[in-house]
A and B are shown apart, each in its own frame.
Chain A
Amino acid sequence: MKKLLLASAAVSLMAGAANAKDIKIGILLGFTGPLESVTPMMAKSAEMAIKEVSDSHALLGGDTVTAVRGDDTCTDAAAATAAAQRLVTSDHVAAIMGADCSGVTGAVLQSVARPNGIVMISPSATSPALSTAPDDGLFFRTAPSDARQGTVMADAIMKKGIKTVALTYTNNDYGKGLADAFKAAFEKAGGKVTISVPHEDNKADYSSEVGTLASAGGQLLVVAGYVDKGGKGIIQGALDAGAFSKFYLPDGMYGDSLLKAIGKPMDGSFGDVPGIQSAGHTKFLAMAKAAGFDGTSSFTGESYDAAALILLSMQAAKSDKAEVFKNDVMKVANGPGETILPGELAKGLKLLAEGKSINYEGATGVKLIGPGEAAGSYRIYTIKNDKQVTDYYAQ
Chain B
Amino acid sequence: MDFLNALTALFNYVIIPATSYGSQLALGALGVTLIYGILRFSNFAHGDTMAFGTALTILVTWLFQSWGITFGPLPTALLALPFGIIGTAALLLGTDRVVYRFYRKQKAAPVILVIVSMGVMFIMNGLTRFIIGVSDQNFADGKRFIINALQYRKMTGLQEGLAIRTTSVITVVTAIIVVTLLFWFLNRTRTGKSMRAFSDNEDLALLSGINPERVVTVTWLIVAALATIAGVLYGLDKSFSPFTYFQLLLPIFASAVVGGLGNPLGAIAGGFVIAFSEVIFTYAWKKVLGYLLPASLMPDGLVQLLGTDYKYAVSFTILVIVLLFRPTGLFKGKSV
Query: Which of A171, A200, A207 is within 8 Å of B13, CB to CB?
Result: A207
Q: How far is the CA of A212 from the CA of B153 in the complex (A)?
A: 20
Measured in the bound complex, the distance between the Cα atoms of B154 and A242 in whole Å is: 13
* CB of A197 to closest CB in B, whole Å: 7
Residues of B within 8 A of A171 (CB): 309
Is B173 at the interface (CB under 8 A from chain A)? no
Q: Assess whether A383 is interfacial by the CB under 8 Å rule.
A: no
- Cα–Cα, bound, A212→B13 (Å): 9
B239 interfacial contact with A, CB 8 Å: yes
CB atoms of A215 and B149 under 8 A apart: no
Tell me if B284 is interfacial: C-beta within 8 Å of chain A: yes
Q: Does B311 contact A (CB under 8 A)?
A: yes
Interface hits, A219-261 → B, CB 8 Å: 228, 233, 240-242, 261
Q: A211-B13, A211-B284, A233-B239 are in contact. Are A204 and B311 (CB under 8 A)?
A: no
A 364-388 contacts with B by CB, 8 A: none
One of A199, A204, A215, A228 near B302 (C-beta < 8 A): A215
Is B148 interfacial (CB-CB < 8 Å)?
A: yes
Which chain B positions have C-beta within 8 A of A217?
Answer: 287
Decide if B241 touches A200 in the complex (CB within 8 Å): no
Contact between chains at B12 and A241 (CB < 8 Å): yes
**Residues from 101 to 138 in B contacting A, C-beta threshold 8 Å:** 136, 138
**Which chain B residues lie closer than 8 Å to A210 at the CB level?**
13
Complex interface: chain B residues within 8 A of A214 (CB): 13, 287
Question: Does residue B17 face the partner (Cβ distance < 8 Å to A)?
Answer: yes
Chain B, 271-315, contact with A by CB distance < 8 Å: what is the 0/1 string?
000000011001111110000000000000010100011010000
Q: Is the CB of B149 within 8 A of A242?
A: yes
CB within 8 Å of B: which of A177-223? 195, 197-200, 202-205, 207-212, 214-217
Please report which residues of chain B, range 225-267, place their CB below 8 angstroms from some CB of chain A when the two chains form the complex. Answer: 234-235, 238-241, 243-244
Give the residues from 68 to 124 in chain B that come closer than 8 angstroms, CB to CB, to chain A: none
Tell me the bound Cα distance from A32 to B241 in angstroms: 15
Q: In the complex, A207→B136 CA distance in Å?
A: 17
The interface residues of chain A lying within 8 Å CB-to-CB of B162 are 242
Alpha-carbon distance A171/B307, docked complex (angstroms): 13
Instruction: Tell me the complex Cα distance, A65–B47, Å.
Output: 49
Could you tell me if B311 and A242 are in contact, using CB atoms closer than 8 angstroms?
no
CA separation between A259 and B174, bound complex, in Å? Answer: 32
Bound Cα distance from A306 to B304, whole angstroms: 46
- Are A211 and B149 within 8 A (Cβ)? no
Is B35 in the interface zone, CB < 8 Å from A?
A: no
Please measure, in the bound complex, the distance between the C-alpha atom of A205 and the C-alpha atom of B138, giving whole angstroms. Answer: 13
Question: Which of chain A's residues has its CB closest to B284's CB?
Answer: A215
- Chain A nearest CB, measured from B241 CB (Å): 7
Q: How many A-B residue pairs have CB under 8 A?
A: 79
Q: Which B residues, 149 to 177, have Cβ-Cβ distances below 8 Å to chain A?
A: 149-150, 152-153, 161-163, 165
Q: Does B215 contact A (CB under 8 A)?
A: no
Taking the complex as formed, is B44 at the interface, i.e. its CB lies under 8 A from any CB of chain A? no
Say yes or no: B12 contacts A242, CB within 8 Å. Answer: yes
- Complex formed: what's the CA distance from A171 to B136 in Å? 19
User: Do B244 and A203 touch across chains, with their CB atoms under 8 A apart?
Assistant: yes
Whole-angstrom distance between the Cβ of B237 and the nearest chain A Cβ: 8
Closest to B308 in A: A208
Given A202-B244, A208-B308, A242-B163, residue A216 in contact with residue B13 (CB < 8 A): no
Q: How far is the CA of A240 from the CA of B238 in the complex (A)?
A: 11
Which residues of B have CB within 8 Å of A233? 239
**Is B21 an interface position by the 8 A CB rule?**
yes
Q: Is B29 an interface residue (CB 8 A)?
A: no
Tell me whether A240 and B163 are in contact (CB under 8 A).
yes
In the bound complex, do residue B14 and residue A211 qualify as a contact, i.e. CB atoms below 8 Å apart? Answer: yes
The reply to whether A209 and B244 form a contact with Cβ atoms under 8 Å apart is no
**B282 near A208: Cβ-Cβ < 8 Å:** yes
Q: B287 touching A200 by the CB < 8 A rule?
A: no
B169-202: CB near A (< 8 Å → 1, else 0) gives 0000000000000000000000000000000000
Cβ of A204 and Cβ of B238 under 8 Å apart? yes
Are the C-beta atoms of A212 and B282 separated by less than 8 Å? Answer: yes
A241 touches B149 (CB 8 A): yes
From A171, A203, A215, residue with most partner B Cβ within 10 Å: A215
How far does the alpha carbon of A224 sit from the alpha carbon of B143 in the complex, in Å?
30
Contact A240 B243, beta carbon cutoff 8 Å: no
Q: Closest approach, in angstroms, between the C-beta of B303 and any C-beta of chain A?
A: 8
Tell me the minimal C-beta distance from A138 to chain B in angstroms.
Answer: 34
Residues A204 and B308 in contact in the complex (CB < 8 Å), given A211-B283, A242-B150: no
Please determine whether A215 and B285 come into contact, CB atoms closer than 8 angstroms. yes
Query: Residues of B contacting A240 with CB < 8 Å?
Result: 145, 148, 163, 165
- A198 x B302 contact (CB < 8 A): no
Nearest first, the 9 closest Cβ-Cβ pairs linking A and B are A242-B149, A242-B161, A215-B284, A204-B238, A211-B13, A215-B287, A204-B244, A212-B284, A207-B17
A-B contact pairs, 5 of them (CB 8 A): A200-B309, A208-B278, A211-B13, A211-B284, A241-B13
Question: Knowing that A241-B163, A242-B148 are A-B contacts, what are 20 other residue pairs whose CB atoms are under 8 Å apart, sorted by A's residue number?
Answer: A171-B309, A202-B244, A204-B239, A204-B240, A204-B244, A207-B279, A208-B17, A210-B13, A211-B279, A211-B283, A212-B283, A212-B304, A216-B284, A216-B302, A233-B239, A240-B163, A242-B150, A242-B153, A242-B161, A242-B162
